[in-house]
Amino acid sequence: MKSIYIKLLLLISLLFTFSCDKALEEEPQNKLKPQTISDYDELLNYGYPTTKDYGTVVPLDYYVEMMTDDQDIRYLNVDRGEYPMHPFTFESTHEHGSMLNGYDQSWKNFYKSIYYANVVVENVDGADGDPSAIAYTKGEAMVLRAFAYFKLINLYAAPYDPATASTDLGVPLKLDPTVQAESYTRNTVQEVYDQINLDLETGIKLMEDNDQRITSKFKLTPISANLLASRVYLYQKDYENTIHYASRTIELNNQLFDLSHNTIAFAQTGWGYGQGTHYLDPENENVLFVYGSNEMYYYVYYPGALAISDDFIDIFEPGDLRFYYFTYVKGALGRSYFKFRPFPNRTGQPIRGFRVEEAYLNRAEAYAMTSNPENALADINTIRKTKFDASFDVNSDYYKYTTAEYNTDQKVIDAVREERRRELFGEFHRWYDLRRYGMPEITHYYDNETYTLPANDPRYILQIPQIELDYNPLMQKNPR
């Protein structure tokens, strides 16, 4: 991590001589250091892990998609794209020379976000400009830092367990932009989550109290910050705060992506290549924040690519339009997913984001885990109403789950988790959900071979990237 900070420190003086991308506003020209609040706001744009144009890739955690039970790789053409095989087979490391740029770049890119956030948090109070804009930008930087640490802790550390979090190895906490001479070591999971919680609570308050009415979906806003907080608290099993922040999100924006005006007959025949509106299009009212790029372009859009598993196909119900919207039949090679159309040729197109649907799902799970089945089922029914063919059945409520059918806590929990799996499919949630559900066994098949990740296997915690281990000799490795 020290190497990342050194390189970024060298770049900071040159930062403002480059123009920014179409997604984020332009950088100020011919300035050696930030001075005004506008400078700091634009500096923070560089901290977002998002492509700077629509032709390049910012590799993040794309490999976790290949590790889940949603994937079927039996038809993979390894001559075209070798890398998906490596995470799919659960080897001791997910890294391999055939992955994008040859190594795992999530660590680098999220610590880059933390660096820029630290620069802003430490210095923005001295900026020239409107005090409310200064306070808002400081809050935004705190939320961005929380987001980056949340991603890192869920890639390279154990899932949050209140019984062991104070001793489980997390990731290094770095809260200022200075470079230390010594190597970095890992803080505990609890210490990292304590900082995430503090940054979110402080950052959200600063943003809400000084709201600048930012409309860009490429920047975190008070609404998306609340959704992030609901996810963070859900992962910590803090269900009261999950409900609080999810409800706040829904109060601010309750828009859902509505497919229900379509019919199953149309979906089966009319949703082909290039169909319709991108599910994570920033223009959609339910989309709150987008980031990253389209690393999956290499593994989804060509023949011999990833397909979805029979296990996942089997959980879709009659009338569920998402099955046809998210997937398509690709000849004899199985059913492949195609959720990110109509942008198959834009590697820089973000395919990660926050959507209002997740707020309902987070709250539903919190209700289910606290024995409140009526509210849990009401939240997932709200989503389901917009995803099913409204003319599919004469009974207008056919999509609804009821407590008469789901009459135990476990049945409700299972229903909520299945709905989450369907709705958030392909958006890089499933691996993290499996970790917090107790790390169940996963089995993959390829070329007459069976690959199994046993329950609670250490490989559910990804290894620290080798480039970081080589640079920082004191960095503790994850056990294997």
Cα–Cα nearest to 426, from 334, 349, 346, 338: 338
If asked whether residues 37 and 127 sit together in one domain, one would say yes
Sign of the torsion formed by the C-alpha atoms of 294, 296, 300 and 302: positive
pLDDT of the residue at 272: 55
Decide: helix, strand or coil at residue 101: helix
Whether residue 414 is predicted with pLDDT greater than 70 in this model: the reply is yes
If asked whether residues 116 and 262 sit together in one domain, one would say no
Assign residue 279 the CATH number of its domain. 1.25.40.900
pLDDT digits (tens, 9 = 90+) for 454-472: 999 999 999 999 999 999 9
Cα–Cα nearest to 14, from 28, 29, 32: 32
If asked whether residues 296 and 401 sit together in one domain, one would say yes
**Rounded-to-integer distance, Cα 122 and Cα 224, Å:** 23
Residue 165 CB neighbours (<10 A): 20
pLDDT of the residue at 75: 75
136-164: average pLDDT: 98
Cα–Cα nearest to 177, from 18, 63, 270, 40: 40
If asked whether residues 212 and 134 sit together in one domain, one would say yes
Q: Which domain holds residue 122?
A: 2-66+104-252+460-471
If asked whether residues 281 and 212 sit together in one domain, one would say no
If asked whether residues 195 and 148 sit together in one domain, one would say yes
Lowest mean pLDDT among 37-51, 179-193, 436-450: 179-193
392 versus 270: the higher-pLDDT residue is 392
411-431: average pLDDT: 97
Residue 120 lies in a domain: yes
If asked whether residues 245 and 308 sit together in one domain, one would say no
In Å, how far from its chain's centre is CA 351? 9
Assign residue 124 the CATH number of its domain. 1.25.40.390
**Rounded-to-integer distance, Cα 283 and Cα 333, Å:** 33
405-434: average pLDDT: 97
Whether residue 340 is predicted with pLDDT greater than 50 in this model: the reply is yes
**Rounded to whole angstroms, what are the CA distances from 326 to 256, 281, 286, 357, 423?**
16, 14, 17, 15, 9
Torsion-angle region of 374 (φ positive above 0: left; ψ -120 to 50: alpha; else: beta): alpha
pLDDT of the residue at 124: 98
Decide: helix, strand or coil at residue 8: helix
pLDDT digits (tens, 9 = 90+) for 350-385: 889 999 999 999 999 999 999 999 999 999 999 999
Asked if 100 and 295 count as a contact pair (C-beta separation under 8 A), the reply is yes
Residue 338 lies in a domain: yes
**Element spanning 353, H or E:** strand 352-355
What is the overall mean pLDDT for the chain?
A: 88
175-180: average pLDDT: 84
If asked whether residues 449 and 464 sit together in one domain, one would say no
Domain count across the chain? 2
pLDDT digits (tens, 9 = 90+) for 18-49: 333 333 333 333 345 899 999 999 999 999 99
